[in-house]
């Protein structure tokens, strides 16, 4: 973790300079389940052909585009990096899952499908919002965490994670058939159990985040917890211990498990 909330500039393994990280944004979409002890989260499984986190189950998200920053400026936000990332999280959710969150306006399935098709065709979100009379409710996104790897992977992302509640159980999530080949709703513990059984693959940051999210019985609990743990940059470190080499994250920032043996780690550090 860096004190100035910026990514590391030196590779933790090789000591060589790190490439400039790509800004990215990820959205943890909650759907509370009445009568159950844990909410469902929306997960997408990435295509095995992807260069980054191939075949892994992750939260919806992707890189922040220049148009996202431009949209944030147009909306009058001073912290363009923060609100550009929130806009990207909403956009990526529509593109990858067909679910529109933190959007006010006509959200009929037909309209969302039109927006999704337009995004895939290259139309920017600000134009779509203007055409459809949509207003983004960016304050509904709760900052959760921020991760950047200390290793020079094929893709190095500086990823901001947000949480949002979406209790429209009739809204159908569907794969985009480009980056992702499957998606599913599950509790955080359910995803961990699937990974333990070998039914899905999860990378190190996703596993740590799922363990943290598995502590909560509702979206409100998770949001309250996040308010008690301000976002800091998580950049894992390598520690040699008596039982071998471990990949570790800092204590005291909300994670119940903060290390894992390196030989068990699934690499790839974006979502």
SS3 state of residue 73: helix
Domains annotated on the chain, with CATH: 22-264 (3.90.79.10)
141, 163 contact by CB (below 8 A): yes
Confidence check: pLDDT of 219 > 50: yes
| Main-chain phi, psi angles of 148, to 5 degrees | -150, 130
d(CA 111, CA 161): 26
Task: Write down the pLDDT at residue 152.
Answer: 60
Angle, helices 125-132 vs 66-74, to 10°: value is 50
What is the pLDDT at residue 56? 87
Other CB atoms within a 10 A radius of the CB of residue 91 amount to 27
Q: What token pair was written down for 1?
A: 């973790």
Distance (Å, whole) CA 32 – CA 39: 4
3-state secondary structure of 192: helix
How do residues 150-205 score in pLDDT, each as one tens digit?
766 667 899 999 999 998 878 889 987 677 788 999 999 999 999 999 999 999 99
């Amino acid at each position: 973790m860096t004190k100035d909330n910026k990514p590391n500039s030196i590779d933790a393994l090789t000591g060589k300079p790190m490439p400039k990280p790509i800004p990215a944004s990820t959205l943890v979409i909650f759907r509370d389940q009445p009568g159950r002890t844990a909410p469902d989260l929306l997960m997408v499984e990435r295509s095995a052909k992807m260069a980054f986190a191939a075949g892994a189950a992750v939260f919806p998200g992707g890189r922040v585009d220049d148009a996202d920053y431009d949209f944030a400026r147009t909306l009058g936000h001073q912290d363009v990096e923060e609100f550009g990332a929130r806009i990207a999280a909403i956009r990526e959710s529509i593109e990858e899952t067909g679910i529109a969150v933190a959007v006010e306006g006509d959200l009929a399935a037909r309209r969302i499908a039109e927006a999704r098709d337009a995004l895939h065709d290259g139309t920017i979100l600000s134009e779509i919002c203007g055409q459809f009379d949509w207003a983004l409710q960016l304050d509904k996104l709760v900052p959760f965490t921020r991760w950047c790897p200390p290793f020079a992977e094929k893709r190095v992302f500086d990823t901001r994670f947000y949480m949002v509640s979406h209790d429209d159980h009739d809204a159908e999530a569907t794969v985009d058939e480009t980056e992702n080949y499957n998606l599913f709703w599950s509790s955080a513990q359910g995803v961990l159990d699937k990974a333990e059984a070998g039914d899905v693959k999860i990378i190190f940051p996703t596993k740590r985040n799922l363990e943290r999210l598995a502590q909560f019985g509702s979206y409100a609990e998770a949001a309250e917890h996040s308010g008690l743990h301000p976002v800091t940059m998580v950049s894992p470190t390598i520690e040699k211990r008596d039982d071998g080499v471990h990949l570790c994250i800092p204590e005291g920032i909300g994670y119940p498990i903060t290390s894992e043996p390196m030989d068990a780690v699934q690499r790839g550090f974006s979502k």
